[in-house]
Amino acid sequence: MKSKRVVSETTKPRVLVVAGSDSGGGAGIQADIKAITMLGGFATTAITALTAQNTLGVQDVLAVDPAFVAAQMRSVLTDIGADAIKTGMLGSARVVETVARMCEGLASGVPLIVDPVMVAKGGATLLDQGAIDMMVLRLFPFASLVTPNVPEAEKLTGLRIRTADDLGRAADALLALGPSAVLMKGGHLEGDTVVDLLRTADGAEHRFEGPRIMTRSTHGTGCTLASGIAAGVAEGLTLQGAVARARKYVVAAIEHAPGLGNGHGPLEFAHPLLAAAAAAAPERARG
């Protein structure tokens, strides 16, 4: 008689991503799922919009009704649960309000990572001023971390950001809006070194630096970084540790980018698997 196979159940870090999709697979929900999975988490989703999108830009957007965004979040939170929530493209003030209400009602105390996605890599506007105002009013005050790039931070604060020193001033201005921490991403600044600045409401500061990688394959870097951080937070890493690990993952994903498309190409999300396969190849050859 065959014995039963017992499968042990382990708890994986759970990250609920509330964001739009990217049909090109390089950003949005698709990038979020890949990054979270590669970093050991379990990704669930509430899709806010469908985009017809590739490496050249966004060709069309189909918004999801806020009531259905709420239904997706409710389905996940009342069954699977979440150890962290990450927001990306929200699209409208009504969706922002819906997400805030669902977080307050069903995910109170769950760390919230807000990636204030406003403009696509190709230049398409993804969030109007009314939605930006609603995001600041309803999401920032209970966000564990906000992760703006330079153009987003300039729009949110009205400040001109041109140097690494300006990142600190922008972070302080954003902290005044209520989040517990801000990661100012400096990739849009000029120079051979990329500086990201993590500053918290309690006054702590951590500076992350690395050489700039000259490449066109940068589509989805913001989504990927924020999701990587959310995976770390869900796992129980410190915020500094989660940012450091996510940055390392993104850098390697850029370095191993597959070179797809004719515009801003996607990253190589599976680089940890490719590295593991390459390391195992000599062992298989000897065997």
Return d(Cα 147, Cα 152) in angstroms, integer. 9
Catalytic residue among 222, 228, 232, 265: 222
Q: What is the DSSP string of 241-269?
A: HHHHHHHHHHHHHHHT----SSSSPPP-T
3-state helix, strand, coil in the chain (%, to 5): 40, 20, 40
218 is an active site residue: yes
Catalytic residue among 41, 185, 186, 265: 185
Catalytic residue among 220, 228, 232, 265: 220
Q: What residues have CB less than 8 Å from 23, skipping those under 6 apart?
A: 50, 51, 52, 53, 54
238 is an active site residue: no
Return d(Cα 156, Cα 150) in angstroms, integer. 10
Catalytic residue among 34, 41, 88, 223: 223
Catalytic residue among 45, 200, 218, 224: 218
Return d(Cα 142, Cα 109) in angstroms, integer. 9
Of residues 170, 251, 234, 199, the one with CA closest to residue 13: 234
Which tokens go with 65?
């009704």
Q: Is 181:239 a contact under the CB 8 Å cutoff?
A: yes
223 is an active site residue: yes
Catalytic residue among 45, 55, 98, 221: 221
Which tokens go with 94?
């009504």
Which tokens go with 219?
């589509």
What are the catalytic residues? 185, 218, 220-223
